[in-house]
Homo-oligomer: A and B are copies of this chain.
Amino acid sequence: MTSARTITRNSGVAIWRQIADQIRSDISSGKLATGARIPPEIELATRFAVNRHTIRSAIAALTKEGVLRAEQGRGTFIANSKKLTYRLGERTRFSQTLSTQVRETRGILLAHRLEEAPSGVAEALAMQSGQVVRIDTLHTADGSPVSCATAWFDAARVPNVAEDYSSSGSITFALKAAGIDDYLRKSTIIAARHAEAEELRHLRLSPGAIVLVATAINVDTMGHPIQYSKTRFAADRMEIAIDNESAG
């Protein structure tokens, strides 16, 4: 347990939630390991200079989230811990980048529809006009939701992408079915924000939780854009790594 950082009163964020966020952050950043015992409530109360009831509220929230596990007479323990790393590269594939870290990954189709390309999407896909297929997906690692995404494709080029994704849980497979055997990551923009209500539900997060938003464009081997997507990662479970191989 690291030292208690200052808490801010009257900020619109209850003290118990600020403390819960700090403890969760210490756990997911690796300062606290799985199975470790956190200090007793009285000690935490002293350290954060708050009442013990306030600490109990924080622990109760984290227990409900599944981050902590309290045992009467023994102490409070860390239930879960380490972050998964999503390695970004030209040939980034979701299941592949996680394959060494988890036993199993899965992709679930949440929704799909044909729509007029929203502003920004047509430009990103270098389309003159026309319709796009939009798919909303959820990705799990060992059964836990780790990210959800919205992706747009040129409807003329990959009309059955939703169906093919649904049956396989894989973008790579769905594109192969449309005759696109290979694709490359052209650009990625990474931002972070608070999770919205739908993301909270899908990723099983609590209000105030953070998502990393990766906005990406994938191109075929001719350099033509085929996929524009926004993936939201649960920031307490995932981090993104960028390796510059030539500088190794």
Interface set of A (CB-CB < 8 Å, partner B): 5-8, 11-14, 16-18, 20-22, 25, 28-29, 57, 61, 83, 85, 88-90, 184-194, 196-198, 200, 206-208, 210-212, 219, 223, 235-236, 239-244, 246-248
Name, among A28, A191, A211, the residue most crowded by chain B CB atoms within 10 Å (CB to CB).
A191
With CB as the reference atom, state the residue of chain B lying closest to A218: B247
Main secondary structure of the interface of A (DSSP, over half): mixed
Would B212 and A191 count as touching, CB distance under 8 A? yes
With A184-B247, A244-B184, A246-B90 already in contact, the answer to whether A192 and B12 are too (CB < 8 A) is: no
Would B242 and A194 count as touching, CB distance under 8 A? no
Would A90 and B244 count as touching, CB distance under 8 A? yes
**How many monomers of this chain does the complex have?**
2
Would B190 and A212 count as touching, CB distance under 8 A? yes
Would A29 and B186 count as touching, CB distance under 8 A? no
The 5 closest A-B pairs by CB, nearest first: A12-B17, A192-B192, A6-B197, A184-B247, A11-B207
With CB as the reference atom, state the residue of chain B lying closest to A92: B244
Would B29 and A193 count as touching, CB distance under 8 A? yes
A90 to B245, CA, bound (A): 9
Shortest distance between the CB of A163 and any CB in chain B (Å): 27
29 contacts between A and B (CB under 8 A): A5-B198, A8-B197, A8-B200, A11-B207, A12-B13, A12-B14, A12-B20, A12-B61, A12-B207, A18-B207, A25-B194, A28-B193, A29-B191, A29-B193, A88-B242, A90-B247, A185-B244, A188-B241, A188-B242, A189-B240, A190-B240, A190-B242, A191-B212, A191-B235, A191-B239, A193-B210, A194-B210, A223-B247, A223-B248
Name, among A14, A25, A90, A247, the residue most crowded by chain B CB atoms within 10 Å (CB to CB).
A247
A240 to B191, CA, bound (A): 6
Complex partner residue of A190 from B193, B210, B239, CB under 8 angstroms = B239
With CB as the reference atom, state the residue of chain B lying closest to A15: B12
